Amino acid sequence: MHLIVALLRQGYRVGSIDLDARQGTLSRYIENRQRCSAEDGLALPVPTHHRVPRSTLDSASAARDDETERLAAAMASLSAYDFIVIDTPGSDNSLSRLGHARADTLITPLNDSFLDLDLLARLDGPGRRILGPSLYSEMAWEQKKQRALADGGSIDWIVMRNRLSSLDARNKRNIGRLLEQLSHRIGFRLAPGFSERVIFRELFPRGLTLLDIRESKAGMPLSMSHVAARQEVRALLNAIGLTGSFDTGASEVRESLPLTQVQTGSP
Ligand SMILES: Nc1ncnc2c1ncn2[C@@H]1O[C@H](COP(=O)(O)OP(=O)(O)OP(=O)(O)O)[C@@H](O)[C@H]1O
Ligand SMILES: [Mg+2]
């Protein structure tokens, strides 16, 4: 959601697609945003949003065709947009794989713990050595191949650490070291992460992000922690290859950029 709003605030036209429609968190976040915007008379930028639920067809191949078709239709309707941000479910399913295979940039947020690291790679007992890739990494790798076969495109895979804690510096260092090694073996780039911040959980009911606090009537002054959090969002944009500031608001629409799909999914 922060990525979507950051892109909107830089003046890009942004479409969003929820492939995790059963959980539907992204869709509800956007609905909350639309409601809050109308109720409070705020002119918050909102993406053009689509939900693409899983197929209910029985046969696996018919279901895959159905999902491929509906995802393609949603993406086609957003073809004039600068960015399409796709949210995929945490669990592996055919729709999630289709979403991965359409990505130009794949962003995998990873909670900063050994438990979550296990979703990227199999580690030895004490968590010191990498034994091999996980099912998720193999799936992402396979979708990179599918993407290359489909249109010759490549997927820039970025892993970003989330919920970084300032309390456990040793854990942070150990995970950082393993991720560094993994990035070479599995073929992703590491982006600077997001810290654990209560504010990230508090903004959902109103559909707001840290980038909206100034115009929201949330009664929240912009604190040092908010400023630091905005820096983290900006650093993520930089890692994707976008620079700029959100403080100027969504004014200019940049026409020159090619259509780019950004896919965010967690293993
Ligand atoms: N940096 C953070 N600081 C504090 N809370 C966070 C942070 N990141 C995520 N959360 C909270 O963790 C919960 C799960 O976040 P989110 O829905 O983004 O995870 P997810 O990886 O998409 O989960 P799923 O795999 O179930 O789709 C939410 O309540 C969210 O507000
Ligand atoms: Mg999710």
Taken in order 246, 249, 252, 253, the sign of the CA dihedral is positive
Q: Give me ligand 1 centre to Cα 232, in Å.
A: 16
Q: Give me ligand 1 centre to Cα 248, in Å.
A: 28
Instruction: Kindly report the pTM of this predicted structure.
Output: 0.88
Q: Give me ligand 2 centre to Cα 158, in Å.
A: 16
Place of tokens 């290359």: 148
Mean pLDDT of 238-258: 54
Q: Give me ligand 2 centre to Cα 109, in Å.
A: 10
Which of the two residues, 215 and 118, has the higher pLDDT score? 118
Tell which atom from ligand 1 comes closest to the C-alpha of 204: 31
| Residue 21 confidence class, pLDDT cut points 50, 70, 90 | confident
pLDDT at 254 over 60: no
Sequence-distant (≥ 6) Cβ neighbours of residue 76 within 8 angstroms: none
Pocket of ligand 1 (CB under 6 A): 20, 23, 25, 90, 109, 162-163, 194, 196-197, 200-201, 266
Percent of the chain's residues with pLDDT above 90: 56
Q: Give me ligand 1 centre to Cα 199, in Å.
A: 12
Residue nearest to atom 11 of ligand 1 (CA): 201
| Residue 113 confidence class, pLDDT cut points 50, 70, 90 | confident
Distance from C-alpha of 62 to C-alpha of 154, rounded to nearest angstrom:
27
Tell which atom from ligand 1 comes closest to the C-alpha of 201: 31
The domain that contains 253 carries what CATH number? 3.40.50.300
Residue nearest to atom 8 of ligand 1 (CA): 163
Number of independent structural domains in the chain: 1
Q: Give me ligand 1 centre to Cα 201, in Å.
A: 8
In sequence order, the β-bridge partners of residue 195 are 164
pLDDT at 87: 97
Q: Residue 92: which domain range? A: 2-263
pLDDT at 252 over 80: no
19, 25, 27, 112: which to mutate for ligand 1, most atoms within 8 A of CB? 25
| Residue 263 confidence class, pLDDT cut points 50, 70, 90 | low
Of 47-56, 100-109, 154-163, 248-257, the range with the lowest mean pLDDT is: 248-257
Nearest ligand, CA of residue 87?
Answer: 2
Q: Give me ligand 1 centre to Cα 200, in Å.
A: 8
Tell which atom from ligand 1 comes closest to the C-alpha of 195: 1
Tell which atom from ligand 1 comes closest to the C-alpha of 194: 1
| Residue 119 confidence class, pLDDT cut points 50, 70, 90 | confident
Tell which atom from ligand 1 comes closest to the C-alpha of 25: 17
Tell which atom from ligand 1 comes closest to the C-alpha of 20: 27
